[in-house]
Amino acid sequence: MSNNIQSVRGMNDCLPDVSDTWQGFEAIVRDWLRRYGYREIRTPILEHTGLFKRAIGEVTDIVEKEMYTFVDELNGESLTLRPEGTASSVRAVIQHNLLYDGGKRLWYTGPMFRHERPQKGRYRQFHQVGVEALGFVGPDVDAELIVMCADLWKELGIAPALQLNTLGDHAARLRHREKLIAYYASHQDVLDEDARRRLHSNPLRILDSKNPAMQALNDAAPKLMDELEDEALTHFDAVQALLRANDIAFEINPRLVRGLDYYNRTVFEWVTDQLGAQGTVCAGGRYDGLVEQLGGKPAPAAGFAMGIERLLALVEAGGRRIATPAPDAYIVHAGDLAQAFAWQVAGSLRSAGLAAVLHCGGGSFKSQMKKADASHARYAVIIGDDEAAAQQVTLKPLREAGEQTRVEVARAIQFIQEASTQKA
């Protein structure tokens, strides 16, 4: 038996090459959210278990089967690693009274935890970017959330499909719930174990079953759309009109119910057939009752979350590579005078805002140039004792054609800065 300690199953290391891609993705996301006026909120990874039971619903798969929950030995409190980000964000908004002066557009990113069977695109520690628009009552915010997703997909070069539905309001769902219970109770002989367990506690979730044997039964089930009041239908019609006006294609999926109890009215998912069973890359909707449910004053709210691992897998499946950070310069040096001067040059480059890697570990110019090329730096800054004595460097382009040239350090900095500006 090996004595090596491995990572926990379903919780993966993000190695430097992958981390570079993540940083490129995160830079795109931050700029995209800034353009839409969203501000970042950062909440703890660990929350009181009751938060998720109240927000997500005690009879959901997440709460019943998937949460990492433990009792704090110091005070006996039940604590849970967050399985999603909306509940924590709403808790923070209530706790700090962020809605006192009107609506807020917030976003977050970070790791979430669910105890699931690990498979491609589904991990026990996974990462999300989430957006929450709190305090906005109209269908325009619902549509904006979807339109902004479509803008990001264009930027990433991917094309997931949009599925749309409405869950109506509380009274309509209660009527629909009673009809679902009666319907499924009359077909007990064909219900699977999950459906029997959910029959009286959360029958709406039966509609979301992935069991092929349940599909025909679910197709014939009572439709929530038949119970909706005029106000909810008008809201849904307005969302659709705004999407059409913005050239957003969508399919109405009446069986789209989402796995979290707090949703009402508009719900949506962006899905793909390129990732096998894990087809949903982004999902969300309206959750007008959650703020009051968690102890705040009633306030409308809507939002979505996207899985970073799945989105990056979809980008990769399309053959696109997200631009990743690379140094502006790699400093190659050999000789006693050159080594001392190379440290000065590296400091000057960095003080000028450039990313500079100083070669360490010795080696010939040839071996160092191989390292410089492998670093993906745009330029090699070459320093020998002759350059050091003259307080100059030899600048060599690595990513494009061009002659190497020997210049003063200040001119080298200016040249690299100008080339970087032209490239951008």
Confidence at residue 259, expressed as pLDDT on a 0 to 100 scale: 59
Among the CATH numbers 3.30.930.10, 3.40.50.2300, 3.40.50.300, 3.40.640.10, which is that of 16-169+228-317? 3.30.930.10
Say yes or no to pLDDT of 393 above 60.
yes
Say yes or no to pLDDT of 180 above 90.
no
Among the CATH numbers 3.40.718.10, 3.40.50.720, 3.40.50.800, 1.25.40.10, which is that of 329-423? 3.40.50.800
Q: How far apart are CA 380 and CA 334, in angstroms?
A: 13
Confidence at residue 189, expressed as pLDDT on a 0 to 100 scale: 81
Per the CB < 8 A criterion, the answer to whether 268 and 162 are in contact is yes
Q: How far apart are CA 263 and CA 202, in angstroms?
A: 13
Tokens of 329: 């310069």
Q: How far apart are CA 398 and CA 200, in angstroms?
A: 67
Q: How far apart are CA 17 and CA 19, in angstroms?
A: 5
Nearest to 221 by CA among 176, 259, 173: 176
The whole-number average pLDDT for the span 250-271 is: 84
Residue with token string 């269908």: 139
Q: How far apart are CA 146 and CA 165, in angstroms?
A: 13
How does pLDDT run across 298-314, given as a tens digit for each residue?
999 999 999 999 999 99
How does pLDDT run across 5-60, given as a tens digit for each residue?
998 888 888 898 888 899 999 999 999 999 999 999 999 999 999 999 888 876 67
The pTM score is 0.84
- Please give the sequence-ordered ranges of beta strands (E in DSSP) within 242-363, or none if there are none: 251-252, 264-271, 280-286, 301-307, 329-333, 356-358
Say yes or no to pLDDT of 130 above 60.
yes
Give CA separation, 115 vs 28, 128, 184, 421, in Å. 30, 16, 29, 47
Most confident of 24-28, 63-67, 217-221: 24-28
Per the CB < 8 A criterion, the answer to whether 281 and 160 are in contact is yes
Confidence at residue 43, expressed as pLDDT on a 0 to 100 scale: 97
Say yes or no to pLDDT of 397 above 70.
yes
Domains 16-169+228-317 and 329-423 in one fold: no
Confidence at residue 422, expressed as pLDDT on a 0 to 100 scale: 64
Buried/exposed code over 239-261 (b: 16+ C-beta within 10 A; e: otherwise): bbebbeeeebebeeeeebbbebb
Phi-psi region of 196 (alpha: psi -120 to 50; beta: other; left: phi over 0): alpha
Confidence at residue 30, expressed as pLDDT on a 0 to 100 scale: 95
SS3 127: strand
How does pLDDT run across 325-381, given as a tens digit for each residue?
789 999 999 988 999 999 999 999 999 999 999 999 888 989 999 999 999 899 999
Provide the residue ranges of all domains of the chain, joining segments of one domain with +: 16-169+228-317, 329-423
Tell me the average pLDDT of the chain.
89
Residue with token string 């119970």: 227
Per the CB < 8 A criterion, the answer to whether 63 and 259 are in contact is no
Percent of the chain with pLDDT over 70: 96
